[in-house]
Structure 1
Amino acid sequence: MKRRNKAIAAMLVAAMTASLAMTGCGGTEKASNDKKELTVWAWDVALKALEDASVEYQKDHPDVTFNFEEMGTDQIYKKLSTSLATGNGIADIILIEGDVLVGYADKFPEGFLDLTDVVNADDFLSSKMKEVTYNDKVHAFPWDAGPMGLFYRTDYFEEAGVNPDDIQTWDDLIEAGHKIEETCKNPNGDPVKMLPVDPKKSSLYSMIRGELGIGVFDEDGNPIVDCEKSIKAMEKAKEIYDSGVALAYNGWDEYEQTVANESVATIPEAVWMIGTIKDKGPQTEGKWGVIDLPKIDGGEYSVNNGGSDLAINAKSKCADEAKDFCKFAMTDAKIQASAFEKYGLYPSYIPSYDEEVFQKGDSFFGEENIYNVFIENGKNVADIPISPNALEASDSIGAAVSKIFLNGEDVTTTMENLEDELKTKFN
C-alpha cells in the first residue's frame, strides 16, 4: 500500500466532469430483484478483506449485494479526479491511502459522505483520526495503520555482542552498526550493514522528524522544513548516512533484497514489514526481534508509515447501506483481527487489539510477542497536521535529501532553499 503513481498530484486537478455509467447504488439505476448493490473499489489484499467482511455482513443483510472491483491506486485516483465533482461513475465505497485522502477532501469538500456522526474517535488511533479529519469533518473510516518499530537480527546482534536494550538513541545505533560490520558477514560473505537507506528519498529524515512531533506543514498549511526541529532531524539523518553504517538502496525491489540477502542487521519500518520479511526471508525464521525505534534527543513520539481509509461517495444512491457496511467492517474486532492475520492489515480500531492474534504474537519472530511494541507505538504517534500539498511536496523533499546525502550540501542552507521552494510552489 505504500507504492503509488507519481501522477497522483496531477490527477487531483484533472478534469472534473467526466462520467462513467454504472448500475446499482453508485449509478442512476437500481439493481434488480429489489436488492441494493454496493460497488467497492479497492486494491490487493484490502479488497479480499472487504470481500470476507461482506460475507459476514450478508448473513444479517441478505438484501444487500456487492460488486467488488479490484483496481490499483493510480486507477482509483484517476477515476476519482475525473468524477468526484458530479458523483457519477464512482463506486459507493472507495479505498484511499491515508496521505492521499486529504488532497481529495480539499479539492472536493462535498465529495465524500460526512461520517462525523458515525465514527467514534475514541475507538481509533488518534493519528488515524487526524488523518481522516479535515476542516472539522470526518471524510472516511480509519482502517489500517503503520506504527513503526526496529526489526533486528538477533543472530547478528549476538555475534557482535550487541545488546538490543542498549539501542536507545540513533547514536547508539551508529555505534552498534560499526561493531556489527566489523564482526558479521552475510551468506554471500559481505560485511553486514546496520540499516537500509534510500539516499534519494525522505524516509529516514521523515521518521526522525516524526519523533519530534512535526510534519512538513503546520496547521495553517505553511511549510516548516526550515524550523529548528526539522533541521535537527535532517542533521541526524545525515549523520547516520555519513557514518557508513547504512546500506544504500534504490527502490522497493532493492529494499526487499536487503531481507532476502540478509545484508542488514536492522530495518526501521512499519508493522506491515512483517509480511515482507516472512515472504522474502523465509530462511531467517527465528532470527528476528522487534524493539522501539531509536530516538533523537528531544524525540518523544512514535512514528507511523503507511495505511489506508475507507470513504463513501456522498452521492451514493445507497448511502445508508454503504455507511452501515463500512461501520460493520471497520468496527468488528474479529473481522479486523482476521484481516490482519490473513492479509497483514494492521487495524487502527483499538478494541481489536484484545483479539487472540495480537495476544499470541508470531512464532516467526520468536517467543516474545512482537505486537506489543506496535500496539504501544501506535498509541503514541503525534497528531501531525496532514496537508493536501504533502504528496506534491515529497519530490522536492527527496531532492533536498539527495543533495545533502549524496552531494554533501549544507543542511541549513538546503532546508532554507527547500522552504522557499515550497512557499513559492504552494503560495
Structure 2
Amino acid sequence: YLKMLPDFLQKHPGKSVDIQIVAGEAVTSRLQAAFWSNLDVPDLVEVEISWAGSFFRGRLESIGFRDLTERIHKTGLWERIVQARFAPYTTRGRIFGIPHDVHPVMLAYRRDLIEQLRIDVDAIRTWDEFVEIGRRVTVPGKRFMMELPPAGVSSFEVMLFQRDGGYFDPQGNCTLDNEIAIATMKYYVPLVAGRYRIGNDLGGGQIFTRALEDGYYLFMVAPDWRTKVIEQDVPKVGGRMALMPLPAFTPGGRRTSTWGGTMIGITKRCADPDLAWELIMHLYLNKDALAEQFRNTNILPPARDLWDHPAYDEPRPFWSNQPLGRLYANLAPQTPPQYTSPYIGLAKAKLSEALIACVDYYNRYGERGFDGFVRQQMARAAGEVRRQMRRNPYLHENA
C-alpha cells in the first residue's frame, strides 16, 4: 500500500494517509470496544474474514461500519467483483465491506514424486478417484496422499464450501446440521481416521517444511496466498511443485473452493466517506499496482477486469513454469460464497468440537453407527449456536 500512496496523495494535495498494521485479534477487540464507546476510530479498517461477522451484532443502524450497498451497485462494483466474495461481509441483505481478494483453492503437489508414482493428475476428475489413488499410494508413517488435519477445520471448510455448504445460509440461519454438512463430515473423517486414511497433519513451520521436502505429503490444499507461503518456507522444492484444480464431488461439478479473505470497510466516524471510498478504489482496483502486488504475494485481486494483465500469464519456475495467475483466475468465478453471522466464531468452535469427536469415534468403531453419531454431533453443534443466537433480540435466525 505504501508504494501506491504517492499517486493518490498527488491527486489530493493537503491530504495525508496514515497506515498502521495491527494484530488481527487486537483490531477486533479494540475496534469493537471503540465502536460501542463512541471513541475515535480509523476512517478505513481491514478485517480478516473470520472476524468480520462479529461486527454485525445488533441492529443494522448500530453497526460501526457504513452500509456500502448503494455505492457498490451505483459504481458497478457489484458486476466487476466476484459476487460470492461479498457474502462474508453482508448481513440482512446489506453489504458493509469490499473484498480484498478471492482466494480460490487448488491442490499443490510434488510433481516429481507424482510422476514417479505414475499418477496422471489430468485424469483425476472427482474426489472419489483421488481417494482411490490415495489409498493405493499412502504408506502410514512414511507417506500420505494429502495434508489433511484431523482436528483443525481449515480443509474441512474447503470441502464444505465446495459442496455449497457452510456455517450459515444467506438469511443467517445456522446450517451445521443440514444434509450437506453431515455428508461432508461423513466423507472427510475417513480420510483422516481409521485404517484407510490418506491424510495427516504434522503442523506448520519447520515441521511442514521438512514434511514437504521429504515427500511426507504428496498433495495439499492451496489457496492462492498459500502458494507464496510454500515458496518462502520450502524453497528446496522449487521447480518440483505444480498445481491442479480441486477434484469435484460429482462429475462436472465445481473444481475449486475458498480459504481465507479480508474486507475493507469505512467506519461511521469517517468525516469524508467519499474520499475514503476513492482511496479504497485506488488500493483495491489499480490494475498495474495490483499486478505488481500479485507478483509479490500471489494473491488474485477480486475484480475480473484486472485479470487480463500480463502478470497473470507469466510462467512461474517454482511451479514447474505453470502460469499461476491464470490457473487461479480461471477458477475464481466458481468460488463459492461464505455466508457469515455475528456467531461465526462460535460456529467454527462447535464444528471443530464435532470434528474431533467424529474422528475419535471413527478411530474406535469405524463405520458401525457412524452415521447416527455424526448426525448427533452436528445437531448438537448447530443447537448450541442457535441457542446463543436466540438470545440476541436484534438478530433472530429469520431476520
Place the TM-score, normalised by the shorter chain, in its bin. 0.7 to 0.9
1:346 aligns with 2:346: no
Question: Deviation of residue 83 (structure 1)?
Answer: 0.8
Q: Which residue of 2 aligns with 1:161?
A: 118
**Counterpart of 1:348 in 2: which secondary structure?**
coil
Partner residue, 2:345 = 391
Secondary structure of 2:270 counterpart: coil
Distance 1:73 1:91, change over 3 A: same
Using a 3 Å threshold, how does the CA distance of structure 1 residues 324 and 305 change in structure 2: closer, same or farther?
same
Aligned AA for 2:388?
K
What amino acid does structure 2 have at the position aligned with 1:418? Answer: A
Structure with the larger helix share: 2
**Pairwise CA RMSD of aligned residues?**
2.3
1:324 CA drift (Å): 1.3
CA change 1:406–1:371 in 2 (3 A) is farther
Distance 1:253 1:283, change over 3 A: closer
Given candidates 136, 161, 182, the residue that maps to 1:210 is: 161
User: What is the deviation of 1:260?
Assistant: 4.8
Q: Name the structure 1 match of 2:197.
A: 244
Q: Which residue of structure 2 aligns with residue 23 of structure 1?
A: none
Q: Deviations over 1:211-263 (max 9, x none)?
A: 22121222333222222221111111012223222123346665555335442
Give the structure 1 partner of residue 395 of structure 2.
Answer: none
CA pair 260-51 structure 1, distance change in 2 beyond 3 A: farther
Give the 3-state SS of the residue equivalent to 2:107 in structure 1. strand
Which residue matches 1:172? 129
Correspondence for 2:240: 287
Query: 1:151-192 CA distances to partner (integer Å, 9 max, x unpaired)?
Result: 11111111111110122222222222234335xx9xxxx732
Equivalent residue runs for 1:51-70 within 5 Å: 51-70=2-21
Q: Cα–Cα, structure 1 residues 123 and 394, in superposed 2: closer, same or farther, change >3 Å? A: same
Counterparts in 2 of 1:133 and 1:217: CA distance versus 1, 3 Å = closer
1:96 to 38, 47, 53: 47
TM-score normalised by the chain length of structure 2: 0.86
Instruction: Report the AA paired with residue 6 of structure 2.
Output: V
Distance 2:12 2:298 in 1: 27
Aligned ranges 1:78-89 → 2 under 5 Å: 78-89=29-40
Kindly indicate whether residue 371 of structure 2 is the aligned counterpart of residue 420 of structure 1.
no
Displacement of 1:89 after TM fit? 2.2
What is the rounded CA distance, in whole Å, between the counterparts of 1:135 and 1:252 in structure 2? Answer: 39
Given candidates 65, 76, 95, the residue that maps to 1:112 is 65
Task: Confirm whether residue 146 of structure 1 aligns to residue 103 of structure 2.
Answer: yes
Worse overlay, 213-222 or 389-398: 213-222
Report SS of the residue matched to 2:17.
Answer: strand
Mapped partners of 1:393, 1:256: distance in 2: 31
Q: Aligned AA for 1:415?
A: M
* Alignment counterpart, residue 322 of structure 1, candidates 276, 279, 282: 276
Equivalent residue pairs, number? 372
Structure 1 counterpart SS, 2:176? coil
For residues 352-367 of structure 1, what are the structure 2 equivalents within 5 Å? 352-367=306-321
Task: Tell me: CA distance 1:283–1:351, structure 2 relative to 1, closer, same or farther (3 Å).
Answer: same
Deviation larger for 340-349 or 233-242: 340-349
8 A contact 1:181–1:194 mirrored in 2: yes
Q: Is the 8 A contact 1:212 1:299 kept in 2?
A: no
- Output the CA distance in 2 between the equivalents of 1:213 and 1:266: 23
Q: Deviations over 1:276-313 (max 9, x none)?
A: 11112111111111111122237833311111011111
- Relative to the length of structure 1, the TM-score reads 0.81
2:284 maps to a residue whose letter is M
Deviations 1:359-393 (A, max 9, x none): 11422112332333311222112334222211221
Preserved contact between residue 313 and residue 324 of structure 2 (Cα < 8 Å): no
Relative to structure 1, the CA distance from residue 83 to residue 260 in structure 2 (aligned partners, 3 Å threshold; closer, same or farther) is farther
**CA positional deviation for 1:107:** 4.1
Q: For 2:207 and 2:149, how far apart are their aligned partners in 1?
A: 10
Letter of the aligned partner of 1:328 in structure 2?
H
CA-to-partner distance for each residue in 1:325-344, whole Å, 9 max, x for gaps? 11221121112222222234
Sort the Cα spacing of 1:52 and 1:394 in 2 relative to 1 into closer, same or farther, 3 A. Answer: same
How far off is 1:398 after superposition? 0.4
Query: What is the deviation of 1:401?
Result: 0.4
Distance 2:38 2:280 in 1: 19
Q: Which residue of 1 aligns with 2:79?
A: 122
CA contact (8 A) 2:149 2:199 kept: no
Deviation (angstroms), 1:396? 0.9
| Cα distance between partner residues in 2 of 1:348 and 1:407 | 41
Unaligned runs of 5+ in 1: 1-49
Q: Name the CA distance, whole Å, in 2 between partners of 1:87 and 1:349.
A: 34
Deviations 1:40-97 (A, max 9, x none): xxxxxxxxxx222212212322322121222110121122111113553211111111
Secondary structure, in 3 states, of the residue corresponding to 1:237?
Answer: helix
Tell me: higher relative CO, structure 1 or 2? Use CA pairs within 8 A at least 6 residues apart: 2
Contact 1:146 1:270 in 2 (8 A): yes
Q: Which amino acid aligns with 2:220?
A: I
Aligned-pair identity (%): 17
